[in-house]
Chain A
Amino acid sequence: MPVSSPLFFSPESLSMAQPSEALPVIKRSQPIAQFEGGARVKITEIKGDEQLCHRLLSMGIFPGREVHILRKQGTSLMLRHGHMCLGVRLAPSFVIEAEAIA
Chain B
Amino acid sequence: MSAVSSDPHTLTIAFAGNPNVGKTALINAVSQSRLKVGNWPGVTVEKKEARYVQGQHQFHLIDLPGTYSLVPHSIEERVCRDYLNETPPDLLINVVDASNLEKSLSLTLELLEQRIPMVLLLNMWDEFEIREERLDVERLAATLGIPVLATSAVTGQGIEDLKKLLAEQTQRLTPLPVLPDIPEDTSQRYALIQRWAHAVMTRPDQMKPSMTERVDQVLLNEWSGIPIFLALLFLVFKLTFDVSTPFVDWIDGFFNGFLGRWAELALGALSVPDIVISLVKDGMIGGVGLVLTFVPILMFLYLFLALLEESGYMARAAFLMDRFMHRFGLHGKAFVPLLVGFGCNVPGVYATRALDSETDRKITVAVMSFMSCGAKLPIYALFTAVFFQRYQAFVILAMYVLGVSVAIFWAVLLRKTRFKGEIPVFMMELPPYRFPQWKALWGSIWSKTRSFIRQAGTVIAVSMVLLWALVNLPYGNPPEKTVLGYSARAAAPLFLPQGFGQRWEPVAAILPGFMAKEMVVGTLGVVLSVQQEEASTEKPAFWSELGAQLVGLKDAAVAAVATVFSGLTPAPLAMDDSANTSSLTAAVRNTFTPLTAFAYMVFNLFLISCISVVGAMTAEFGGRYFGFVFCITSGTAYVLSALVYQVGLVLGFQ
Contact = CB atoms under 8 A, between A and B. Distances in A.
The bracket for how many chain A residues form the interface is 35 or more
Contacts of A88: 425-428
Contacts of B73: 51-52, 54-55
**By CB atoms of chain A within 10 A, which of B131, B191, B220, B319 has the most?**
B319
Contacts of B431: 85
Nearest to B73: A51
Interface in B160-211: 186-187, 190-191, 210
A25 interface: no
Nearest to A96: B425
Contact of A73 (B323, B422, B432): B323
Interface string A10-37: 0010011000000000000000000000
B190 A52 contact: no
Given A84-B429, A87-B316, A58 B69 contact: yes
Contact of A59 (B103, B210, B212, B422): B103
Interface residues of B, number: 42
Given A82-B103, A83-B432, A55 B69 contact: yes
B406 interface: no
Nearest to A87: B319
Contact of B187 (A48, A63, A82): A63
A59 B429 contact: yes
A83 B210 contact: yes
A70 interface: yes
Contacts of A15: 187
Contacts of B427: 52, 55-56, 59, 86-88
Interface string A51-94: 11011111110111000001101111010001111111111111
**By CB atoms of chain B within 10 A, which of A58, A60, A76 has the most?**
A58
A16 B315 contact: no
B99 A87 contact: no
A87 B426 contact: yes
A93 B107 CA distance: 26
- Grouping DSSP codes into helix (H, G, I), strand (E, B) and loop, the A interface class, with mixed when no group exceeds half, is mixed
B103 A84 contact: yes
A87 B319 CA distance: 6
Contacts of B100: 60, 82-84
A26 to B, nearest CB: 21
Contact of B99 (A57, A62, A83): A83
A59 B187 CA distance: 14
B425 A57 contact: no
A8 to B, nearest CB: 17
Given A60-B103, A89-B322, A16 B426 contact: no
B457 interface: no
A54 B69 contact: yes
Interface string B338-375: 00000000000000000000000000000000000000
B94 to A, nearest CB: 14
B102 A60 contact: yes
B465 interface: no
**By CB atoms of chain B within 10 A, which of A60, A78, A92 has the most?**
A60
Nearest to B197: A82
A57 B426 contact: no
B332 interface: yes
B53 interface: no
B425 A89 contact: yes
A58 to B, nearest CB: 4
B222 interface: yes
Interface string B307-350: 00000000110111011001000001000000000000000000
A94 B191 contact: no
A87 B422 contact: no
A48 to B, nearest CB: 8
A71 B220 contact: yes
A52 B68 CA distance: 12
A79 B426 CA distance: 13
B631 interface: no
Contacts of A74: 323
B423 interface: yes
B555 interface: no
Interface string B102-114: 1100110000000
A89 B326 contact: yes
Contacts of A75: 323
7 contacts: A16-B191, A55-B69, A60-B100, A64-B190, A76-B322, A84-B429, A85-B212
Given A48-B425, A87-B428, A89-B326, 4 more contacts: A58-B69, A58-B71, A58-B107, A63-B187
